[in-house]
Structure 1
Amino acid sequence: MRVTREIGGKTYVADFAVEKGVVILSSEFGQKKAQLGSLPAEQLAGMLLAEQVSAHFMASKPVGN
């Protein structure tokens, strides 16, 4: 399955699967997993993608001035 999220004016796309109650997301930023709970799998996958994008840009942001 596929999920997309628009963040900061750019569209990000990732593939995800659900295996044994775990959402597994694969994107250009790597792989992320989370236990499926009360949220629909697609919504959780979108949240995981947003976390990956945020972490990527926080890690690449220069420190200091």
Structure 2
Amino acid sequence: MGLLTVNPDEYLQEVSQGLAVAEIDQLITARNAARTQKNWAEADRIRDVLQAQGVVLEDSATGTSWRRG
């Protein structure tokens, strides 16, 4: 049934640290789309939202990675 497929300790750590991984991934996808469209203001806004939640983005030629900072 898919119940308890996530380690409860990991889940609680994610929740206590702000945004969930899925939310971060969605925001990064939206930011990448904005960057592709050269909508720099929106890309910067999303970066700032993530940064305010303690998420550090690292852009490279192979894509965007992130870590909690």
TM-score by length of 1: 0.30
**Which one has a larger percent strand, Structure 1 or Structure 2?**
1
**Which one has a larger percent helix, Structure 1 or Structure 2?**
2
Rg: which structure is higher?
2
